[in-house]
Amino acid sequence: MSAEPHRCEDGTCITCGDVAVPLRVVSLDGERGLALCEDGAGRRETVEVALVAPVAPGEELLVHAGTAIAKSPSENQRVRLASAGPSGARTQGGRIAALFGRLRTPQRAASAAARRARRFSDGL
Q: Binder to another protein among 42, 58, 102, 107 (CB under 8 A)?
A: 102
Smallest distance from another protein to CB 96, Å: 5
Rounded Cα distance between 54 and 98, Å, is 42
Interface map 36-75 toward another protein (x if CB under 8 A): ----x----xx-x-xx-x------x-x-xxxx-xx--xx-
Smallest distance from another protein to CB 25, Å: 14
Interface residue list for another protein (CB under 8 A): 1, 4-9, 11-20, 22, 40, 45-46, 48, 50-51, 53, 60, 62, 64-67, 69-70, 73-74, 77-78, 81-82, 84-86, 95-97, 99-100, 102-104, 108-109, 112-113, 115-117, 119-124
